[in-house]
A and B are shown apart, each in its own frame.
Chain A
Amino acid sequence: GAVVSQHPSRVICKSGTSVKIECRSLDFQATTMFWYRQFPKQSLMLMATSNEGSKATYEQGVEKDKFLINHASLTLSTLTVTSAHPEDSSFYICSARAPFPTEAFFGQGTRLTVV
């Protein structure tokens, strides 16, 4: 199947700093990428949908000024957690939608810890 690379896999940052997470589709062009957040022992919750060359679409309750998403090319989307706080600590997963087949492919996830 297609490969999606997410980096970093783990990051620890101090409160008030910003953290950038990258999501790359390695062997296909992804016109749409999705960012999810997963709390311990819970399901994946969609945060935003990212389209190449346009503004991301955020789900209700997700602060767009806090979670900045940039989809600058067909193979790269980034999520920047700005002015991070301990409550932002979570597991963040990206996925990229391939033109064919129809399923989405997931990155390895990023465990963010804000101290």
Chain B
Amino acid sequence: AQTVTQSQPEMSVQEAETVTLSCTYDTSESDYYLFWYKQPPSRQMILVIRQEAYKQQNATENRFSVNFQKAAKSFSLKISDSQLGDAAMYFCAYRIGVDYGGSQGNLIFGKGTKLSVKP
């Protein structure tokens, strides 16, 4: 079974600084997707970044980038130039890439990391 582990329940960063959130996962599949979602106090889930397992290049979205280490099954999120609006819960998620019978492509989430940004 696939699992996603976020070992940091809480993290804190100074405004304008850089922070890295950790995520590891376990799977026997070779084709899959990894995601980072942000959940602010409104509780709306917002996609931050996506990584396809077959791509060696790390995904980047403006101030957000990932360090994808496929062999180590590690998928960390780096937030550069942190802003007050980045404060939220961050969830790492996994999804199998191919739809097998019984798998509908649901997301498997880690337990989340609460990020605080200090002014």
Residue ranges of A at the interface with B (Cβ–Cβ < 8 Å): 1, 32, 34, 38, 42-44, 46, 49, 51, 57, 91, 93, 95, 97, 101-106, 108-109
Contacts and interface: CB of A to CB of B under 8 A. Distances in A.
B84 interface: no
Interface of B: 33, 35, 37, 42-47, 50, 52, 91, 95, 97, 102, 104-112
Nearest to B45: A106
A57 B104 contact: yes
A101 to B, nearest CB: 7
A32 B81 CA distance: 37
Interface of B: prevailing SS? loop
A34 B97 CA distance: 17
Which 4 pairs of residues, A with B, have the shortest CB-CB distance? Answer: A106-B45, A49-B104, A43-B109, A43-B111
B44 A102 contact: no
A109 to B, nearest CB: 5
A95 B112 contact: no
Contacts of B37: 106
Contacts of B43: 38, 91, 93, 108-109
A99 to B, nearest CB: 11
Given A95-B45, A103-B50, A108-B44, A46 B35 contact: no
B106 A103 contact: no
A102 B50 contact: yes
A110 B56 CA distance: 38
B104 A106 contact: no
Given A43-B109, A43-B112, A93 B104 contact: no
Contact of B106 (A38, A42, A46, A91): A46
Contacts of A101: 50
